[in-house]
Amino acid sequence: MKHLQVKSIPEPIPEPIPESIPENPSPLPVVETFHSVQGEGTWTGTSAFFIRLAGCDVGCPWCDTKHSWNMARHSQRTVADLVAEAKAVAPAIVVITGGEPLMHDLTDLTGGLKSAGLQVHLETSGTHPFSGQFDWVTFSPKRSKLPHASIYAQVSELKVVIVEPSDLEWAESHRAELPAHALQFLQPEWDTPESYHLIFEYVLHHPQWRISLQTHKFTRIR
């Protein structure tokens, strides 16, 4: 009687693990980095390390970070340096903000942060082609420059700053383009007191929307 020989199935050869940071990633212009808590939207109150990139061509009249617009005024920093600083403080999330961060290719920076085991969030007006790997994307469209079409499929939450009634129609036009899972927030413009009442009344009658407040300004933390 012949015995069948059962051949063992060879284990698959593992694919090489990519380096956490590419060999020569381009440096990025950085306005500031700091460890605080997220002050707005879904993740309000969460420990967050902020990377504020320089450069913005949107030009919101009520922007509270106009010093970030001109990227030539700010120092370049390496991806490795930014990843190391973020990892050292062990935040719950890392928030890449601006300025308008999508003016830059965020592939290397987000890849490095993800490889370091960090959860990466983006705050953007969506005016430039989407790039990078993100766990959460906050999309805040502005009237002064229309969003790029690539942003809509990536959105986790929509956050629209409201100054006047026509801004509510603007917000609704963007809500219609979002994935079904995306959350929707209306946020009063800090220096426009009447916008608070406007949003309050609107949310009461449009329950798909929520109110976002800039809690870091109320509590006077960074």
pLDDT digits (tens, 9 = 90+) for 175-208: 999 999 999 999 999 888 899 999 999 999 999 9
Q: How many percent of the chain have pLDDT more than 90?
A: 69
Return the structure tokens found at 195.
């916008």
Query: In terms of pLDDT, which residue wins out, 50 or 60?
Result: 50
Tell me what pLDDT residue 69 has. 65
Tell me what pLDDT residue 198 has. 96
Which among 105-114, 185-194, 207-216 has the top mean pLDDT?
Answer: 105-114
Tell me what pLDDT residue 60 has. 65
Cα–Cα distance measured from residue 140 to residue 160, given in angstroms and rounded to the nearest whole number: 5
Q: SS3 for 201?
A: helix
Tell me what pLDDT residue 144 has. 81
Per-residue model confidence as pLDDT tens digits over 91-103: 999 999 998 999 9
Cα–Cα distance measured from residue 71 to residue 91, given in angstroms and rounded to the nearest whole number: 26
Q: Walk me through the domains of the chain, giving residue ranges and CATH numbers.
A: 28-218 (3.20.20.70)
Tell me what pLDDT residue 18 has. 40
**Lookup result for tokens 């190391």:** 84
Tell me what pLDDT residue 217 has. 76
Cα–Cα distances (Å) from 41 to 4, 51, 122, in that order, read 65, 18, 12
What strands, in cross-sheet order, belong to the sheet with 136-139?
76-77, 28-37, 47-53, 93-97, 120-124, 136-139, 157-162, 183-188, 210-211
Tell me what pLDDT residue 76 has. 95
Return the structure tokens found at 146.
């229309």
How far is CA 70 from its chain centroid? 20
Cα–Cα distance measured from residue 61 to residue 65, given in angstroms and rounded to the nearest whole number: 11
Whether the predicted pLDDT of 9 surpasses 60: no
Whether the predicted pLDDT of 168 surpasses 70: yes
Q: Which residues pair with 77 in a beta bridge?
A: 28
Q: Which residues pair with 183 in a beta bridge?
A: 157
The predicted model gives 85-89 an average pLDDT of 98
